[in-house]
Structure 1
Amino acid sequence: MSKLPDDIKDQALRYAYAVFDRRRWEQVPASQRGAVFDELVADAKFSEPLRPYLTAAQMRVWIKDSAAKEYPRALEGVGSASQYTTRRFPGPEAIVGATLGEDWAVIAESVEQKPMRCRAGGPTGDEALLAWGPYRILRDLYWAASGARLAGENRVGIVITRPTMACLSNDDWEHVQGLCGLIGAEPFSVMYAPRSLPATDP
């Protein structure tokens, strides 16, 4: 696949992320995401600048494996693609407060990605590691939590984030609890939705 020039990539990401922002991508079911990729490829405003470098099939792969894959991290304010979205998750502080309590705080420079995780400190000097993300990346969360336990972390939490107030199904939640039980991790489920960033002066 051809490497996109920086200005073309910038234009394509800006357009794709505007679509993702408008559709609230984190709430779009996996079964419906392919149709959005197809709509973008069919949209001349998106595809015409890309045609000298990518076929229609390659454009779809680029959207799926590059733009869409980076979008959740962009919502966390992580990575260069974060500049293209006008929305942002509340951040690690919100995860820590919703799970461990408002008297806990994120430990400086402890935030990591793939999956998102951080260390938190409590009022009595206790520490914990939290890994968070939607249910569809439970495998990644479990792997990160398992690694933390093997590394000697005493308190580890797996936090399943939800874009709305709707709870996980009983079967899904029991699955999370069962996996956490295997490694001595704490299961949490919290609502965690992006907010629109304040408008900036041009």
Structure 2
Amino acid sequence: MPEPSVPEKVRAEVIRELYRQVDMLDWEELPVRAKTAYYTRWVEDDAIGGMLADYMTSEGMRVWLKDVPLKEYARAVESFGSYAQYVSKHLTPPSEFVPLILGAGWRVRPETIREKPMHCKATDGSRERYVCWGRVRNFRDLVWAALNEAVDSAERPLIVVYATDAVPIDVERSERFRRIAEHCGLDVDFVRRQWLAAAAG
């Protein structure tokens, strides 16, 4: 959606406060109804809605909160994109979990990290593999991305399904994911990622 005409200083303060509050939740795992209740709360919050009141209506705030900063949040906690500067915490990077899965000789090529879904190329110095990662609910998108990569790759793509401390991965579901990946000629693994404090700046 088009950005409303909000002064940059006000916009930055609002997003930083919004993310401060979102960072205390496991936002990506909240059900839709719970998220809807938070939109209402934030519109009424002096530090968010009160700051935006001179520039947009209450409904405009709800739409903007949902379609701009909250749409960017999942990428921001991956330390990816321009909104990453506003979060107070982020997830452990792929450089931590890729060697755990593929082996200590493997490393992420940082310049290859991209989004939709989050993915990168990993190398052991002679081979290169496509790695994509996301939460349980994103598994279908991860499979599709990996299959598209598999068509042109000599190495099997790797799908990494991650959980955070608050939301474990169901054993029965993970086994189902393994069977689907094997059927498609893909590799899949599961990791628990930690939340880290974002660097001050």
| TM > 0.5 | yes
What amino acid is the match of 1:122?
Answer: D
The 5 A counterparts of 1:1-202 are 3-5=4-6, 6-26=8-28, 28-122=30-124, 125-164=126-165, 167-199=168-200
The secondary structure found in structure 1 opposite 2:9 is helix
Deviates most, 15-24 or 71-80: 15-24
Counterpart contact for 1:132–1:160, Cα < 8 Å: yes
The whole-number CA distance in structure 1 between the counterparts of 2:31 and 2:197 is 21
**Alpha-carbon contact 2:44-2:50 (below 8 Å) kept:** no
Distance in 2 of aligned mates of 1:133 and 1:91: 12
Q: Secondary structure at the match of 1:44?
A: coil
Structure 1 residue 61 displacement after superposition: 1.9
Say if 2:135 and 2:161, in contact at 8 Å, map to a contact too.
yes
2:131 touches 2:158 (CA, 8 Å); kept in 1? yes
Per the TM alignment, residue 172 of structure 1 is displaced from its structure 2 partner at its CA by 2.4
Q: Return the alpha-carbon distance in structure 2 between the equivalents of residues 101 and 30 of structure 1.
A: 38
Identity over aligned residues, as a percent?
Answer: 29
**What's the secondary structure of 1:102's corresponding residue?**
coil
Q: Is the alpha carbon distance of 1:2 and 1:99 closer, same or farther for their aligned partners in structure 2, counting shifts above 3 Å?
A: closer
Q: Matched residues in 1 for 2:157 and 2:108: separation? A: 14
Structure 2 CA distance for partners of 1:9 and 1:165, relative to 1, 3 Å: closer
TM-fit CA distance, 1:94: 1.3
Q: Distance in 2 between matches of 1:98 and 1:33?
A: 34
Q: 1:131 aligns to what SS in structure 2?
A: strand
Q: Which runs of 5+ in 2 are unaligned?
A: none
Shift of 1:196: 0.9
Instruction: Determine the C-alpha separation between the residues in 1 that align with 2:175 and 2:17.
Output: 39
Q: After TM superposition, give the deviation of residue 170 of structure 1 in Å.
A: 3.5
Cα RMSD after superposing both structures: 2.2
Deviation of the 1:95 alpha carbon: 2.5
Q: How many residues align?
A: 199
TM-score by length of structure 2 reads: 0.87
Greater shift, 77-86 or 147-156, is seen at 147-156
C-alpha displacement of 1:23: 2.5
The DSSP-based 3-state class of the residue aligned with 1:142 is: helix
**Cα offset for 1:165?**
7.4
Residue identity matched to 1:43: D
CA contact under 8 A between 1:98 and 1:190: conserved in structure 2?
no
Structure 1 residues 52 and 153 mapped into 2: Cα distance closer, same or farther (>3 Å)?
A: farther
The DSSP-based 3-state class of the residue aligned with 1:119 is strand
Conservation of the 8 A alpha-carbon contact between 2:14 and 2:47: no
